[in-house]
Structure 1
């Protein structure tokens, strides 16, 4: 057996303590490492220091034969490169066998988003007055107004909303803090929800729960529940698109850039560490311009 429990655990601690990685990132790293470890064990490799380039080639062959997506293969190799780099730094291994492994080129897929009229159509479907209707309306308004991640939304407390200046405090990936403005539509919906719908949901629990979004039992609305609710609301519309809650974040960024927002400002609002991550949305706006041109220019 490979010394997986010790080496992987040390790397996980490094990700959590030094890199401040989110629980989801840590989980992905751990899953990738266990997958690699199990494959090495099948090859008879008994120690991470015994892994050779031939073993790595066999692992890559296995991934492609099992038809893993190129993005998934890239992530796994990146994980293993970081894993060996860490243990190389700690002088447990001499060489990083993944240093010269070339990652497959990523597929350049543009993010899905809704046009502004489609977002309006989605909001029109949230006009009920029940507590959960008010919650879902506030939820959608806030996601679209700020572009926050669903994971950030699930952790929000009431005190994180500042109605006086119209901002929300967010804790993003890697424990990075940021303040994002909230528009008037979202503020109005949140205010109504807090003083009406949320107050009614809160009566169903004995806990002193200060999270902004509650489930029907009065407990914190989990990340999974938010995704389920948003997916259900999207499915209820007549939009002929397959959408995910994260597409609201894509829509937020796309609409800002379409209306002339500076790319670096959008980067700050989204909480992206690198500008290159935000630049994908410039390709979306170019596609939008091309579509408009083809539809309306007489000699397109």
Structure 2
């Protein structure tokens, strides 16, 4: 019966909550792992599981070298699953409700300085259609801060050239409008009129997606990752650039230029302002370094034993 409730819950997430396939797979993996742990510990039903048992499972995850971030995800998924069981009278209390999340240290987001971004863009060979497509992907992601999953799902009908906006379907099916700059618009119009048509010449079936692979089909997330890795390692940067780094670069550069943090939050599709605030730490770090290198007194020794007036 324990296994049947997992199936019920996943069907609920799929049909009623309309979660994405990737999210369903992640939830399924985490719950399945907990189910196997329960079978190993000889549990026959969910109502036998108490808070001490949950603590034991968390220790089990730590012993298997899961990061705090992964453990936090496991706890969140199982807390939601047990809330579902509680709503359906399968259990009398949610043992995950009292569990505190392990702390994680937020890493400072990696980003490119503008001269690095230019070096990346300028290194692309534009003599071939794929080179032009590669530049277009990078230009759009830098201009809009889209997640890679959002960028590959942009359709031609989502682009409003008259207003310079893209309709983006983000996490949880939420829709937002993101502006793009005139330079990006020029490249996009040229790409759609020439490059995209050329790449789709050998494809029998048309599709509405903006970005295509070498065969004219819709490009995948893996395709974007591999493209960026190849382009960046062949550029003067000689370091691997990943799609999220372009998103970090977008946010950091906007805040550097004085953009309001709540506007940046809206453009990035962050539900919580704290997700955007991490970029202020990046800009403050840059500000401090600039100050220390530029101010005449920044590197002077403090006055000792003298009248400071």
TM over 0.5, shorter chain = yes
Aligned to 2:213: 215
| Pair 283,17 (structure 1): closer, same or farther in 2 beyond 3 Å | farther
SS of residue paired to 1:279: helix
Aligned to 2:235: 237
| Pair 281,211 (structure 1): closer, same or farther in 2 beyond 3 Å | same
Distance in 2, matches of 1:16 and 1:290, equals 48
Distance in 1, matches of 2:47 and 2:238, equals 52
Paired residues for 1:1-300 under 5 Å: 3-4=2-3, 6-239=4-237, 241-298=239-296, 299-300=298-299
SS of residue paired to 2:177: strand
Distance in 2, matches of 1:150 and 1:245, equals 6
Q: Deviations over 1:123-156 (max 9, x none)?
A: 1112413111111111111000000111011111
Distance in 1, matches of 2:273 and 2:106, equals 17
The alignment of Structure 1 onto Structure 2 pairs a total of residues equal to 298
Aligned to 2:302: none
Unaligned regions of 5+ residues in structure 1, if any?
Answer: none
Q: Deviations over 1:1-49 (max 9, x none)?
A: x622x22233223334454433332222221111111111111112222
Report which of the two structures shows the higher radius of gyration computed on alpha carbons: 2
| Pair 295,31 (structure 1): closer, same or farther in 2 beyond 3 Å | farther
Distance in 2, matches of 1:185 and 1:61, equals 53
Distance in 2, matches of 1:101 and 1:186, equals 47
Distance in 2, matches of 1:33 and 1:82, equals 10
Distance in 1, matches of 2:63 and 2:271, equals 34
Distance in 2, matches of 1:116 and 1:68, equals 36
Q: Is the 8 A contact 2:123 2:236 kept in 1?
A: no
